[in-house]
């Protein structure tokens, strides 16, 4: 049976105390809503409908950047979760299957949990609600069950009786039901509650009143962590990183100091990768099996191939592609550049908008001058070339295979294969002048010092 997802992202998020909509705050290098979308995609939905509202002028473009095929609708008035879901229902026209309702500020719902909800739905439950057990349920809605797994109702905390508030099985808001039934049940939801809002949770009692069966499924409370404040966001980041570090270790990587390594939502680390301390993986990083990352490095939107060795104190920026057995050393920065197999850039260098050939060596202090103040220009360096220390390669430039650039050169013209390029001023020695000059300077200094 087909599945669709409705993702609610219309809330104001006032407790974030921010001009940025809550669902766009970053967790593990990605907007909160990207995590919820990842959960949604795990069940291979036929459609994903996102409901936006407050800050839609910022949220909608961000969503389009994440997935141009998303269906986006607006909740112009904040009238409750039932009202928000109702805005999405027209986008399900013609869809026959199950619908899961998720939340843009709840990033950790696991694929196996959603699959368990869908199984319960297809095993006969008309409505399936995800819950969790909490010793301090506070303001969460309570799941009222008959003790045999049947869910009788969901009662919001402010509407609950003292006996109901003592219940520890809480509602996290995630619901699965059949598309046509969802529309039908929503039509009966009213506003007779403390907030005068349309509660999505009321569909459980409405379904029971019709003789339909509702079921509660419990998951680990860690999955239901919501983000409503900066404190929550920090806690979510800590939870994500702990999970990501454990996953990397379980998948065969070595982290010498796990607590100082930071991952992004989409970081991929292969087996037998060795990662030293204080390494930050930004979005879009892939590290193939057998690579070594020495400490104090920062990576973003780059690819590191098998056998490469990077660091310490290296920075790989977007578009950096390291082939097998490449060496990138201390205080080296690479941006939008392809470094072919076996090339070495070991010290204090910048390589941007370039292609470095196989087994080429780039010396300490060498830089590619890729920006003229308006445009970026590309540099092509052939295989087995040698770029000396403190060389400035002024792009656009082509350097042939096995060329040699003398240390200290400023290269502004193409260098043929096998050629030696020297682009520096001729040295002139003035015998005795250094001694005379220093004596003169010291004398002037003495004249200025009071006796």
347 is catalytic: yes
Please tell me the predicted confidence (pLDDT) of residue 346.
97
**Structural domains in the chain, sorted by start:** 2-224 (3.90.550.10), 251-421 (2.160.10.10)
Backbone angles phi, psi at 148, to 5 degrees: -115, 20
How many Å apart are CA 167 and CA 238, to the nearest integer?
Answer: 29
Q: What is the 3-state secondary structure (H, E, C) of 130-186?
A: EEEECCCCCCCCEEEECCCCEEEEEECHHHCCHHHHCCCEEEEEEEEEEHHHHHHHH
Name the active-site residue from 298, 347, 355, 377. Answer: 347
Please tell me the predicted confidence (pLDDT) of residue 431.
95
Please tell me the predicted confidence (pLDDT) of residue 156.
85
Distances (CA, A) of 374 to 52, 125, 135, 437: 38, 62, 60, 43
**306 with 286: CB under 8 angstroms?**
no
The encoded tokens of residue 266 equal 């989409």
Q: Is the whole model's pTM more than 0.85, yes or no?
A: yes
Please tell me the predicted confidence (pLDDT) of residue 451.
56
Residues of the chain with pLDDT under 50: none
Backbone angles phi, psi at 145, to 5 degrees: -120, 170
């Amino acid at each position: 049976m087909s599945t669709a997802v409705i993702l609610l992202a219309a809330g104001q998020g006032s407790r974030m105390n921010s001009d940025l909509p809550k669902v766009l705050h970053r967790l593990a290098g990605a907007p909160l809503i990207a995590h919820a979308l990842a959960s949604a995609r795990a069940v291979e939905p036929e459609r994903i409908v996102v409901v936006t509202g407050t800050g839609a002028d910022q949220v909608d473009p961000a969503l389009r950047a994440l997935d141009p095929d998303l269906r986006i609708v607006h909740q112009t008035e904040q009238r409750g979760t039932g009202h928000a879901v109702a805005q999405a229902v027209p986008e399900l026209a013609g869809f026959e299957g199950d619908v899961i309702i998720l939340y843009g500020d709840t990033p950790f719902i696991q694929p196996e949990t959603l699959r368990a909800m869908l199984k319960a739905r297809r095993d006969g439950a008309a409505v399936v609600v995800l819950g969790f057990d909490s010793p301090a349920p506070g303001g969460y809605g309570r799941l009222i069950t008959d003790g045999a797994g049947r869910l009788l109702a969901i009662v919001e905390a402010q509407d609950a009786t003292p006996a109901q508030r003592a219940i520890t099985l809480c509602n996290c808001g995630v619901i699965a039901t059949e598309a046509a039934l969802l529309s039908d049940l929503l039509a009966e939801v009213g506003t007779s509650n403390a907030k005068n809002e349309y509660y999505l949770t009321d569909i459980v009692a409405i379904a029971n009143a019709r003789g339909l069966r509702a079921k509660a499924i419990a998951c680990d409370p860690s999955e239901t962590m919501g983000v409503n404040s900066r404190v929550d966001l920090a806690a979510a980041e800590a939870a994500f990183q702990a999970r990501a570090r454990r996953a990397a270790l379980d998948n065969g990587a070595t982290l010498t100091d796990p607590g100082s390594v930071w991952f992004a939502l989409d970081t991929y680390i292969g087996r037998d990768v060795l990662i030293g301390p204080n390494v930050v993986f930004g979005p879009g990083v892939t590290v193939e099996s057998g690579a070594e990352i020495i400490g104090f490095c920062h990576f973003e939107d780059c690819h590191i191939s098998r056998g490469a060795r990077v660091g310490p104190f290296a920075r790989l920026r977007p578009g950096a592609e390291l082939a097998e057995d490449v060496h990138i050393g201390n205080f080296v920065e690479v941006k939008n550049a392809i470094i072919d197999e076996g090339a070495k850039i070991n010290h204090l260098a910048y390589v941007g908008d370039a292609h470095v050939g196989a087994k080429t060596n780039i010396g300490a202090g060498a830089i590619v001058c890729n920006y003229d103040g308006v445009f970026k220009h590309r540099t092509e360096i052939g295989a087995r070339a040698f770029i000396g220390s403190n060389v400035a390669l002024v792009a656009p430039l082509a350097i042939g295979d096995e060329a040699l650039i003398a240390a200290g050169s400023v290269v502004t013209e193409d260098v043929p294969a096998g050629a030696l390029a020297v682009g520096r001023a001729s040295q002139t020695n003035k015998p005795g002048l250094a001694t005379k000059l220093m004596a003169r300077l010291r004398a002037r200094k003495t004249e200025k010092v009071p006796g």
